[in-house]
Structure formats: C-alpha cells, structure tokens
Structure 1
C-alpha cells in the first residue's frame, strides 16, 4: 500500500492527469511485473499469464467497461493512470476477476448494520472477505473465501449450512479501488451478500477466526447511510458494496417481499435488466 500511496502522490506532484482522455506527452511510468507472478507462470499456475498474453485479446476476461488499448496493444485501466505499467502483483492482463462475501445483519431498529470484516495481511487494510475468482461458481467461491478468511475454525460444510445458496444475493460486478492495480491490470469483483438474523449472527460471532490472507477478523457495527467509510483504512469500494447490499435488503423488507419463490407474492414486479456488458 506504501507503493500505491507513493504512486498517487507522485502523480499529483508531477501534475499527471488521471484520465486517459487527457493527453500527457511526458507520461512514462515504470514497467513492472513482480517476480512472484513470473515464477507462478513458470510453474504453470493458471492465475498467472505470460508477459505477451496481452496480445491475444481472447485471453482477456470480460470487463464491466469496454476495453481500451494503448498504441502497443496493452489494455488500459478504466480508472486511469496509476504511475505503474505492467501487471505488478496481479496475474492477468486487464481484468483480474474477484469475489467478495458480504455477511451482515440489522440491529433491532433496522438502522445500524453489523458486518463481518477482515484485515488483510499484505497491507493492513480492512474489507469484506474475498479473493480471486478461480473458475469456480460465484456462490461457491464466495462461501469458500469467507470460510478461509473469517471462519477458519469451521468446516466449509458448516459455513455452507449457514450461508446457503438460497439466501445468497449476487450483486453487480464493479471495479475495485485496489493498491495492486496498474495501468494495464486491475480488479473487478462480484459481491455476494448474505443477510443473517440476529440470532444467527450472534452465534457466528463466537465462531469467527481469521485465516489464509486475513490477519484479523471482526464484527463491526456500521451506519450504511454514511457516505464515508466508518472504519480506518476500510477499502472504499468495499464500503460501497456494504452500503448497496444493506440498502437493497432494507428496501426488500420495507416492501414485505418474501425472499423465497415458494412464498407467493402477487404484487412482486421487479425491474428487468440485462447489463450492457
């Protein structure tokens, strides 16, 4: 995260515009693909692409925004210049697909939201449990990441019994503000939300245990109406995800729409949408 902060500070000090639409003839960011990625490629690990794989556009994951490329054919980060080219610590050119699990519950007044957060080992920042999507089902991956990072003392089967597929809310994929992103590699996540009852959350709280990439795990009470993240160094995109999930669940409860298809609801008329992507 120090490298990310330094790159942003350097960009501001040198008056480098963030947007690709603003020309900058002097822009010459250093190129780096971390040796961890290169070694992973040598070992044949599927998450790490070759250095020249950017040339084959069929190898790029779909993006929530249309791809743009520079004059050499490298994909351009839709969020703009980052002061770093190459892939850095990310394995793929362009989109690196991720998954995040939002597990929370309302307080008795339905105004404050308790949500499970983990603290990352690599940079100390807080966020919801999650990781890279490795070809698995979105729901399956979200539950697995939650178990590994926030409920390491529980079996995957036990976590699945609580975070069942029937109660999962798969949210819209979005770009993540992440310290690892570069001009040519970035992260897009598909959040999966689970709304628990107070009793379920009280029990889960006693079973929380950090593991894998998480240094700590905590149940944090937040106010989704606040625009700014309530926790120091909480990932800004994750806060947007938490707020969006809480708002969607609150709206559903206020309209008394049952979650299960087995419960009839003659007034249900949700808007139809197929994303332009």
Structure 2
C-alpha cells in the first residue's frame, strides 16, 4: 500500500505543526482526517486552529472533521472517536501527536506543569488509544503512531528535565506495551521521532538555543509518518522510528528539501545521539 486514500485518521494536536503536516500529507491522498485539538479561535502567538487546518485538508483533497477536544477529558475523547467513526465509517489510524513541553529541572518545574505533561503526553496517549481501539480492531491495516522518542535509559536524557523526559518516555512505553498487547489483533503500534529539531511553535521552548535555520520543516516528519502508515500493519509493529530511517527504508534519502535553510548545520533533537559520522 502506497496511499492513504479512503483511510480515516484520528490525529491529536492537529491544529498546527507536525500534527497539521501529517494531516495535510494524508489529505493529498484523499484520506479522511479528524482534526483533534483545543484551538478553535486564532491564538495571538500560535498559528492554526482546527478550522483553518480543516479548510487546508479539504483544499488538499481530503475530507475533514474538526473536533474541539482536550485529550485530558477521557469522555470527550471517547465522544470524538465515536463521532469520527460515525462520520467516516470507522477509524483506521490513530496518530498520538498532542504533547506538552516544559524544559526545566526539578526545582523549576511547577507541579501544574508536571500534571499537564503527564496528563497530555502519557495519559492522553493511553486515553486516545483506548478510545479508538474498538474501530481499529475492525479496520483493514490499522495503525497507532505516537510522536515520541526511542526509549533510552541513559541518565543524560533525564537530568536536565526529569518531568518532561518521563512524560515523553511514558508515551513510548505505552507504544511498546500496546504493540505486544495488540500484535495478534494485527494493529501496528509504533513511535516516530525526528533526528533534527523541527521548526514548530515548540522551538520557543528551547530559549533561543536553536535557530530556525538549524531546523527541518514539519514535512519530513509527515512524510516519514506516511511511509510508516502505508506499511503492512502485521509486519511493522513495536518499532521506534527516527524520521530519516523511516524515509530511508522507503527509498527516500535526499533530504535537503526538508531543511529550513538548505546547507546550514542542523541541530540534533532531544533524545537522539548526534551523528558524528
């Protein structure tokens, strides 16, 4: 399978950034997209709403359903999944993209930020996966793809921001466990993470340590997600993909077009070892 035509995707955090890019890539195939996020009206500092992305999806050739949902609300998520299945006849793919970030050490992490990251990142991944499972079990070639890093117990990934790391690895461990749990059901469960920093609104959380010209565009993650989601679910599960590697397995190795500034040195993302080759 090389296309997502006719597939229904439930994408969280899809009002901007990587989530929106994944939605638009699938839309070009003619997919149905549930755009699941909180932002309904324009934010003064952040681009995109569920409605603006829905309009882009429709223009790109897809079918959109804009759903205003806070994934911390399990009942709202369940209703959104049911509405998606009612509208499009099922759910084939869940993309757990919504995420909260706070890069600070323990003394400088307010408990409300700790709770937000755990509720959105780890708990949200579990809640959305659980809510979509009844339809994924009936789908042809069902996938769950979570935007989180490969699990790595090297202390250097924990020391600078314990709370954030725990919340992101919690997402990855959900995928690890669910891949095994759902293997016999034929539901693929994988994670995806970028090798380089991606130019999204989250860049501001790095405090100027990374400049936009050191980043790649969200399109590289969207294309990598597309390459994973078009694979046979029963032969591709329990993996922790890096975007470059997922594209290379699909035969795509020319990556210059994804750079914000082609030729500029790229900054390696968190949780990924620098390429010293």
Q: Which structure's residues are more often strand, by fraction?
A: 1
For this structure pair, what is the TM-score category when the shorter chain's length is used for normalisation? Answer: under 0.3
Larger C-alpha radius of gyration, 1 or 2?
1
TM value normalised by structure 2: 0.25
Higher RCO, 1 or 2 (CA under 8 Å, sep at least 6)? 1
Q: Which structure's residues are more often helix, by fraction?
A: 2
TM value normalised by structure 1: 0.25
